[in-house]
């Protein structure tokens, strides 16, 4: 005997009981939207709509993956960032909403109409593509060490129809000699062995995107020092960092000789980025 059909609301209620995340209802709605191709508004407007056997089977399979802790973005294969929908894979970080604060900070700077910009450790290409979406005159270069991330950022540039050049490089090592008005990066900044590495989505993301030495600051130290050789006079360095690293990062900027140094907070009111200007 075949199982009775479930309505959207019944399927969502069943899923909420299985998904052990912090946002079971949202997760379940996103998965059901993926399976049915319907918007989340439609489930709310027509909760009694019945799912087909095939839809229910597919939905339960995705719910099982989520209940094992797999990130929603990996299950869906995409993640929204800024006004873009980006492909994501397990080769790099899933773009986080707080990283949009870097994009906002960069857009507030007084930069030339045809500003030259580099996004180091671009991952999905999130920061670089959001900047290009807002400033069509900017010339944006992006780099990542991991070949699969380079390929991913190139696919995302194509998907968004934005003219981003992506190269494989250990920070500036493979970049042609030139000067930039803006160097921007969300580098790895978690301490080796940090307890956060064994929790939530982070367990499914590669160390290459997360970890940077015993105090988490190896990459940031390198970028603060190296960027001096690549910035135009008056050019800006904008770096994301951990909620507890603001003071240490400002001190690195000061020691290196940047001015206008400022740390800004994210949507959760935590220190999240520091910027400074090179003379």
Ligand X SMILES: C[S@@+](CC[C@H](N)C(=O)[O-])C[C@H]1O[C@@H](n2cnc3c(N)ncnc32)[C@H](O)[C@@H]1O
Binding site for ligand X (CB under 6 A): 92-93, 95, 99, 120-124, 126-127, 143-146, 149, 170-171, 186-188, 208-209
The C-alpha angle 136, 142, 77, rounded to 5 degrees, equals: 90
- Rank residues 51 and 210 by Cβ distance to ligand X and give the closer one: 210
DSSP 194-257: -GGGGSGGGGGS-HHHHB-STTS-HHHHHHHHHHTTTEEEEEEEEEE--TT-HHHHHHHHHHHT
Closest separation between CB of residue 267 and ligand X, Å? 15
How far is 122 from 146, CA to CA, in rounded Å? 10
User: Which tokens is 71 given?
Assistant: 């990130």
Q: Which is nearer to ligand X, 35 or 209 (CB)?
A: 209
Measured from the CB of residue 155, what is the shortest distance to ligand X in angstroms?
A: 14
Count the neighbouring beta carbons within 10 Å of the beta carbon of residue 13. 14
Q: Which of 169, 168, 183 is nearest to 229 (CA)?
A: 183
Q: How far is the CB of 274 from ligand X (least distance, A)?
A: 15
Give the residue with the Cβ less far from ligand X, 63 or 149.
149
- Asked if residues 124 and 95 have their Cβ atoms less than 8 Å apart, the reply is yes
140: exposed, middle or buried (Cβ count in 10 Å: 0-12, 13-18, 19+) = buried
Nearer to ligand X, 8 or 182 (CB): 182
Q: How far is the CB of 121 from ligand X (least distance, A)?
A: 3
Q: Measured from the CB of residue 112, what is the shortest distance to ligand X in angstroms?
A: 23
| In the complex, least distance from residue 124 CB atom to ligand X, rounded to whole angstroms | 6
Of the pair 55, 122, the CB lying nearest ligand X is at 122
Going through the chain in order, the beta strands assigned E by DSSP cover: 78-81, 84-87, 116-120, 139-144, 165-168, 180-185, 231-240, 259-265, 271-278
Q: How do strand 180-185 and strand 231-240 relate by DSSP bridges?
A: parallel
C-beta of 60: minimal distance to ligand X in Å? 31
- 31 or 219: whose CB is closer to ligand X? 219
Q: Which is nearer to ligand X, 19 or 102 (CB)?
A: 102
CB 271 within 8 A of CB 265: yes
């Amino acid at each position: 005997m075949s199982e009775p059909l479930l309505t959207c609301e019944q399927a969502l209620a069943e899923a909420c009981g299985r998904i052990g995340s912090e946002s079971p209802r949202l997760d379940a709605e996103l998965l059901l939207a993926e399976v049915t191709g319907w918007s989340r508004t439609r489930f709310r407007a027509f909760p009694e709509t019945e799912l087909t056997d095939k839809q229910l089977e597919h939905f339960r399979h995705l719910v099982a993956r989520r209940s094992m802790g797999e990130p929603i973005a990996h299950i869906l294969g995409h993640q929204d960032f800024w006004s873009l929908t980006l492909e994501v894979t397990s080769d790099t970080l899933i773009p986080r909403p707080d990283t949009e604060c870097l994009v906002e900070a960069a857009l507030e700077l007084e930069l030339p109409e045809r500003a030259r910009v580099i996004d180091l450790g671009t991952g999905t290409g999130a920061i670089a593509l959001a900047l290009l979406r807002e400033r069509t005159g900017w010339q944006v270069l992006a780099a990542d060490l991991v070949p699969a991330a380079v390929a991913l950022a190139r696919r995302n540039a194509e998907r968004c129809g934005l003219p981003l050049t992506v190269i494989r490089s250990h920070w500036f090592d493979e970049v042609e000699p030139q000067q930039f008005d803006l160097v921007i990066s969300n580098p790895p900044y978690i301490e080796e062995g940090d307890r956060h590495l064994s929790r939530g989505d982070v367990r499914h993301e590669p160390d290459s995107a997360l970890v940077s030495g015993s105090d988490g600051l190896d990459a940031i130290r390198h970028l603060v020092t190296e960027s001096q050789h690549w910035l135009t006079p008056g050019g800006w360095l904008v770096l994301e960092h951990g909620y507890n690293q603001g003071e240490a990062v400002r001190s690195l900027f000061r020691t290196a000789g940047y001015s206008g140094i400022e740390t800004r907070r994210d949507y959760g009111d935590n220190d999240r980025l520091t910027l400074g200007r090179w003379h």
